[in-house]
Amino acid sequence: MPLHYMQAIRLPILVVWHLEGMRRNFFWKGKDKCLGGHCLVNWSKCCLPKENGGLGIISLDLQNQALLIKWLWKLKAEQNSLWTNTVRELYGTTDIDALPNIAHISVGFKDILLCKEFFSASILASADPSQAWRWTPGGYFTSSSAYKAMANTGVRSQFQNWLWKIKAPPKVKVFLWLLLQERLLTQDNLLLRGWPNIQSCTNCRTPVVETATHLFIHCPFAQSFWDSIQIHFNLRIINFATNLVDFWIHNRSIIGKQWDIIWAAVSWALWKERNARIFSDQTSNHFTLLREVVENIDSWTLNA
């Protein structure tokens, strides 16, 4: 239903905020309400394209604008369409630069004309107006190309293309996305939120504040498990870098693409083990975790 209206009118900002709030709450909590502390990453970043470091969730405001730009395109490229003829009959012109100056122009049409700056910048000089759209190979307008152009920040992430191609379930990829930004609810992030926490590493039982870097790289339990992984998969020596991004990328450059799914499966197993110890008081040994990693890799590869 919102999409139906978004093709014709600019949604009021309060309506957009309400709809985005519903989507945000469902994504982070699966409920109608979600406290700010449960939203691990700012929603505006979640709505960035994946190549710009986001999750690629559609921004309703930008989608609304992209759908409305279609009407400006029709004025440019479809001179004999019913829409163009109607605008010409009502206002005496179809020039989008002249239309905002007309006193009796409708409120809805004013909303459409708010997009004219982006639209004008997206038009190429062409003998054929129907092939003048900058953002598609053939020069034809599509709302999806308009959205992608508006959503693209121009700042490309160094690893996002690799991340979303890993042969793993979507929930694991989102987990890895949070991990690389150190936004998981490890003890240091719980401290920042003022939530109850243990202030020690559950996996290695040492009295240090648990951070993502410690839990997945520098924790003695994790390093010992990585040694088991190295032996089982016959990998080159694993480099325990100082941060999570370097740990993934550096070892990937040495071991190759197979490192992606191994890193994903091991990180997922370490996180589940940590949570099982905290919430269920259950502990697994390296052999059990290794079997889980191997089974996950086989399953993920088969279902990819």
pTM of the model: 0.90
Q: What are phi and psi of 261, to 5 degrees?
A: -75, -30
3-class DSSP state for residue 265? Answer: helix
**Which residues, at least 6 apart from 295, have a Cβ–Cβ distance to it below 8 Å?**
none
| H/E element, 148 | helix 143-151
Query: d(Cα 70, Cα 3) in Å, to the nearest integer?
Result: 14
Nearest to 28 by CA among 178, 225, 233: 178
pLDDT digits (tens, 9 = 90+) for 29-74: 888 887 767 889 999 999 999 999 999 999 999 999 999 999 999 9
Angstrom distance (rounded) from CA 258 to CA 255: 7
Per residue in 144-195, pLDDT (tens digit) is 999 999 999 888 877 788 999 999 999 999 999 999 999 999 999 998 888 8
What is the per-residue pLDDT across 240-284, written as a single tens digit (0 to 9) for each?
Answer: 989 999 999 999 999 999 999 999 999 999 999 999 999 999 999
123 forms beta bridges with: 133
What is the rounded CA–CA span in Å between residue 24 and residue 18? 10
Dist. CA 215–CA 192, nearest whole Å:
17
Our measurement of the distance from residue 275's CA atom to the centroid of its chain's CA atoms, rounded to an integer in Å, reads 25
